Amino acid sequence: MPKRRGAYQPPYSKHSFLVHGKFLTSKWDFEHHVVPPISSSSTYRLESAQRGASGFCGYVDPEARARRRGEIFIYDRLDEPTRAMLEERLAFVEEGERCVTFATGMAAIAAALGVVLRAGDEVVAHHALYGCTYSLLTNWMPRMGVRARYADLTDPRRLERSIGRRTRAVLYETPVNPTLEVIDIAAVSGICRRRGVISIVDNTFATPFCQRPLALGADMVVHSLTKNICGFGTDMGGVVVGPRRLEPGGHPAGVRKRPPAVPEGLRRGALAQERLADPRLRAAVPGA
The active-site residue out of 79, 202, 219, 235 is 202
Helix (H, G, I), strand (E, B) or coil at 223: strand
Which pLDDT value is given to residue 255?
Answer: 45
pLDDT band with cut points at 50, 70 and 90 for residue 85: confident
Quote the percentage of the chain above a pLDDT of 90. 46
Which pLDDT value is given to residue 265?
Answer: 62
Query: Which burial class, exposed, middle or buried, applies to 91 when counting CB atoms under 10 A from its CB (0-12, 13-18, 19+)?
Result: buried
Listed by start position, the domains of the chain span 83-284
Is the distance from CB of 244 to CB of 98 less than 8 angstroms? Answer: yes
Which pLDDT value is given to residue 25?
Answer: 60
Alpha-carbon Rg of the chain, whole angstroms?
A: 19
For residue range 34-70, what is the model confidence (pLDDT) as tens digits?
A: 676 777 788 888 888 888 887 787 676 656 655 545 5
Domain spanning 83-284 has what CATH number? 3.40.640.10
The active-site residue out of 4, 14, 22, 227 is 227
pLDDT band with cut points at 50, 70 and 90 for residue 259: low
Distance CA 210, CA 275 (A): 12
The active-site residue out of 69, 77, 166, 256 is 77
pLDDT for residue 86 is more than 50: yes
Q: Which of 123, 282, 122, 120 is nearest to 202 (CA)?
A: 123
Q: Which residue has the higher pLDDT, 63 or 167?
A: 167
For residue range 94-147, what is the model confidence (pLDDT) as tens digits?
A: 999 999 999 899 999 999 999 999 999 999 999 999 999 999 999 999 999 999
Is the distance from CB of 14 to CB of 94 less than 8 angstroms? Answer: no
How much is the average pLDDT of 238-259?
68
> Is 227 tagged catalytic?
yes
The active-site residue out of 59, 65, 98, 130 is 130
For all residues of the chain together, what is the average pLDDT? Answer: 81
Q: Which of 16, 19, 84 is nearest to 266 (CA)?
A: 19
Distance CA 249, CA 62 (A): 4
